[in-house]
Amino acid sequence: MRDADPQPVRLTDYRPPDWLVDTVDLDVRLHPQATRVVVRLGMRPNPLGRPGAPIVLDGDELELKSVALDGAPLAGAGYAATPSSLTILAPPQDPLVLTIETVLDPSANTKLMGLYCSSGTYCTQCEAEGFRRITYFPDRPDVLAVYTTRIEAECEEAPVLLGNGNKVDSGDVEGTTRHFAVWHDPWPKPCYLFALVGGKLDRITEPFVTATGKEVELGIYVEPGKAGRAGYAMDALKRSMRWDEEVFGCEYDLDVFNIVAVADFNMGAMENKGLNVFNDKYVLASPETATDADYANIEAIIAHEYFHNWTGNRITCRDWFQLCLKEGLTVFRDQEFSSDQRSRPVKRIADVRLLKSHQFAEDAGPLAHPVRPATYREINNFYTATVYEKGAEVVRMLKTLLSEEGFRAGMDLYFDRHDGQAATVEEFLTCFADANGADLSQFALWYAQSGTPQVEVNGHWDAAARSYRLDVRQTQVPTPGQPDKQPMLIPLALGLVGADGRDLPLVPHDGTNAAGSVLVVSRPEQSFVFRDVEARPVPSINRGFSAPVKLTTNLASEDLLFLARHDTDPFNRFEAGQTLALAHLVSASGLAPEKTSAGPPSGGGTALVEALIEALGASLEDETLDPAFIAQVLSVPSEGDIAREIGSEVDPDAIHAARRSLRRALGEALRPGLERAYGRHAPDGAYSPDAVSAGRRALRNAALELMASTGEAADIARALAHFETADNMTDRFFALSVLAHHAPAERDAALDAFYQRFRDDPLVIDKWLALQAQIAEPETLERVRELTRHPAFSMGNPNRVRALIGNFAAANQTQFHRPDGAGHLFVADAVLELDRRNPQVAARLLGAFKSWRSLEPTRRGSAERALRRIADGPGLSPDVSDIVARSLG
């Protein structure tokens, strides 16, 4: 076992490895309980390391059988071995071959890190530190080696044997019932990209010809009988490969590219070189079983993992502090891919909503950390929204600041300069600075300072001078470990919208127009003046969400209403409506729940609601708008958004009631338009997952739900008919969700019908579990408790745990934060139970407490008791003890 209270690792302590590994030859003989691993490491002293250093290799729960140096067995005095390390005490300071034999029990590996069995399939997960659970190795990303892997197994048990790179040999093991395959990966890689798979799997294959005419065989492997559901993933893969050639000049570099879908997986997917391993949730899709959102996720994640082949694999990270170097950049790349494949404005809106709900919430609580952390205790806990989503925003800002061409020049230089290396954030930024002659030293603070910058912008029109002035003030709020911060470089995309809805030309007062329509804010306070402004414009600020900041302005509700109707920037057109809604919801949440739930908002809120109804009604009737965009416009800010806006003394019941009441008011006021939209977008043919068809379903379903939130019998009947006549999962599940939330009388029969229909399909049953966990009523906790005993549920499968307990904790604010503390206690006990089995999943679940300090005192007290109960738990994993300590810290 590893130390339960590991010492923090610090970025500033980095030093190069003492020994390098050039080649890794693995021989893995698969057996469910006793897999034998023999590794031959071709090593040499690192000229940059400490002279005369011993060889220190990492391990984790390993059982050593033998160790040999240059073919001669090493006596006990020559090395020191524990389950977590192997030290060769006085190695010759020359190139040498170290041979190590270990034995593993894949079927007992419930952590799903290293080599494990998933529903009869052997597979591996090595990022971040799983390879050390397979063999002793310098398990750090800056040790790059060429791998050759021989895999052997019973023919019957594992007819398919897959490894990294290209297959170079295979055959039967003579005189046995076993067979083998040898895979060779010519590209040096860190061990976290190692993978092997063995099992009974079906596959689909397709050829792909790269830009320079190289033929690649693409394969997707799935559980027997599920090949018919892999077609969309294959299509997405081919589109990703072509797109990366066209947009980034990145071509694939092996003869084969394989994807394997497994049922038990801690993460979404893993970019192992030439052998991506996926959570089957992000591969398998059919109209009957997958929603439009599932299809979009599959497309994005297939692309993401593929794009890592260059951003992550060919150029990897020097150390785990640089995780954003591969993740933030690759998220940016997959966002761009999806934007090109689908609607760019709708994709941007969806990405920003995710950023705010996950990353802004993280930034506002005790788990806040920089995009590149300076210290960590358990790296598994840094696969966060900050590293991924904010990391992507930082790359997006680079592109905004440097222009499309400047950005591409920087990327080209990065690929050119660092191919085959383990790089750092500084090296990445230097490529952009060098390619553009730019100074990015202040910009680099985005990687180092945590917290969401607050930006206040006030506009003033001077009629006499015919000028318009924007006063900008930025504030950096203190976050854990960072009490004082420096001002950031913030690109604010701007438009001044004239009375006719058109953008005015932006003429800076000094006559220059250096940065186009982007204000580059670099000081705590700064003013920008534009001349030749004949009439008062409405400023549209931070267009496209050009900077991930919390923006406040002196815009009046009439200005927001104007932008919601006329802004040519689709993101800000959406955002104007959201700002109006949020302003109302925050003030309505301050009222007692019984007042807001009884009817339409009263008092000062009425004008805001009327403005909102007018704005939404106009969008609903505007047939020039993309239906997917209108569906986003109709969405009311989430309970989490409202809680974050309120900031402290949060009462989730009051927020829920205010939101419910607003939706009812919208459903009533917009009913004619909603009915028309519902009718206009009725299906007109067989289901297709394309973005246009998905957008029509999104709008139709949004209309269905807003109408049903009135609770009128006719609206519930419409939802029930929608459920019963649906010919695809998107419509069926959306209607079920409407019934679950708005029709208590119809709910159980519909849930049961859904279960009976899909009971043999675990991925669909996850939706059924998740939905029940999200119902905002006091009976839900007991329902969730009972579902943990349902045959469809298993604590051993991460997808089931996330669906049921994860959704209860993260997507049911009123019941997780029950005032009696029972929700907190339930999740705390689940964390403790899970921690003994799978610490990574347990630590993720625990992250649901991240906003506990902003709750009102009763709930805050109960959350703290639950956290202390976890902290006092015996034998906590490093993963959970790290999160709980930071949450309480």
CA distance 832 to 169: 46
Rounded alpha-carbon distances, angstroms, from residue 766 to 289, 595, 607, 752, 848: 11, 36, 42, 14, 19
Give me 510's structure tokens. Answer: 């000094």
**Residue number with CB closer to Zn ion (327 or 363):** 327
What letter represents residue 774's amino acid? Q
Residue closer to Zn ion by CB (options 326, 550) is 326
Q: Shortest approach of Zn ion to residue 327 CB, angstroms?
A: 5
Q: What is the largest CA-CA distance in the chain?
A: 97
Give me the DSSP letters along 213-271.
Answer: S-EEEEEEEESTT-GGG-HHHHHHHHHHHHHHHHHH-----SSEEEEEEES--SSSEE-
3-state secondary structure (DSSP) of residue 216: strand
| Residues in 270-329 that interact with Zn ion by CB under 5 A | 327
Contact 217, 252 (CB under 8 A): no
What is the smallest separation between the CB atom of 333 and Zn ion, expressed in angstroms? 10
* CA 645 and chain centroid, separation: 22
CA–CA distances in Å: residue 313 to residues 240, 330, 396, 421, 614 = 16, 11, 21, 9, 51
Rounded CA-CA distance 402/397 in Å is 8
Map the footprint of Zn ion across residues 325-354, applying CB under 5 A: 327
Least gap, CB of 727 to Zn ion (angstroms): 35
Tell me how far, at minimum, the Cβ of 304 lies from Zn ion, in Å. Answer: 6
CB nearer Zn ion, residue 265 or residue 468 = 265
**Do residues 706 and 670 lie in contact, with contact meaning Cβ atoms separated by under 8 Å?**
yes
Closer residue to Zn ion, CB minimum distance, 269 or 763: 269
Q: How far is the CB of 185 from Zn ion (least distance, A)?
A: 19
Q: Cis omega before residue 463 (within 30°)?
A: no
Least Cβ distance, residue 626 to Zn ion (angstroms): 29
Of 127, 129, 152, 305, which one is the catalytic site residue?
Answer: 305
How far apart, in whole angstroms, are the C-alpha atoms of residue 350 and residue 291?
A: 16
Tokens of 850: 């991240």
Q: Please, which residue, 391 or 847, has the CB nearer to Zn ion?
A: 391
Q: Which residue has the tokens 């959970």?
A: 880
Total residues at interface with Zn ion (CB under 5 A)? 1
Closer residue to Zn ion (CB): 307 or 360: 307
At residue 28, the 3 state secondary structure works out as: strand
Pairing of strands 454-462, 467-475: antiparallel
Q: How far is the CB of 267 from Zn ion (least distance, A)?
A: 9
Q: Which is nearer to Zn ion, 327 or 639 (CB)?
A: 327
Q: How far is the CB of 308 from Zn ion (least distance, A)?
A: 6
Smallest gap from Cβ 499 to Zn ion, in A, equals 46
Give the residue carrying structure tokens 């596959």. 203
Per-residue binding string, Zn ion, 690-719, x by CB under 5 A, is ------------------------------
Give φ, ψ of 516 to 5 degrees.
60, -130
Tokens matching residue 262? 């497994």
CA 193 to CA 125: how far, in whole Å? 9
Nearer of residues 292 and 327 to Zn ion, judged by Cβ: 327
**Cα distance between residue 731 and residue 562, in whole Å:** 34
Helix (H) or strand (E) holding 159: none
Report whether 259 contacts 302 (CB < 8 A).
yes
> Which of 682, 707, 677, 679 lies closest to 693, judged by CA?
682
* Two tokens, residue 265: 């997986």
Of 226 and 333, which CB lies nearer to Zn ion in the complex structure?
A: 333
With the C-alpha atoms ordered 165, 166, 171, 177, is the resulting torsion angle positive or negative?
positive
Q: Which is nearer to Zn ion, 244 or 715 (CB)?
A: 244
SS3 assignment for 54-89: CEEEECCCCEEEEEEECCEECCHHHEEEECCEEEEC
Say how many C-beta atoms besides its own lie within 10 A of residue 889's C-beta. Answer: 9
Q: Residue written as tokens 């694939």?
A: 252
Q: By C-beta, is 327 or 389 nearer to Zn ion?
A: 327
Q: Note the Cα 750 to chain centre separation in Å.
A: 31
User: Residue written as tokens 């931070």?
Assistant: 542
Instruction: State yes or no: is 305 an active-site residue.
Output: yes
Select from 388, 375, 320 the least CA-distant residue to 130: 320
CB of 330 to Zn ion, least distance (A): 5
Q: Which of 589, 577, 600 is nearest to 658 (CA)?
A: 589
**Smallest distance from the beta carbon of 237 to Zn ion, in angstroms?**
15
Q: Residue 422 or residue 867: which is nearer to Zn ion going by CB?
A: 422
User: Quick one: tokens of 23?
Assistant: 């080649």
Of all helices (H) and strands (E), which one includes residue 810?
helix 807-811
Contacts of 669 (CB under 8 A, 6+ apart): 613, 617
In three-state secondary structure terms, 593 is: helix
Q: Which is nearer to Zn ion, 267 or 729 (CB)?
A: 267
Do strands 160-163 and 114-118 pair parallel, antiparallel, or not at all (unpaired)?
unpaired
Which residue type does 93 have? Answer: Q
For residue 610, the minimal CB distance to Zn ion (Å) is 45
The number of C-alpha atoms within 13 Å of 401 and in the hemisphere containing its C-beta is: 25
Alpha carbon 702 to its chain centroid, in Å, reads 24
Query: What tokens were used for 107?
Result: 């079927």
Active site residues: 305
User: Which residues sit at the interface with Zn ion, rule CB under 5 A?
Assistant: 327
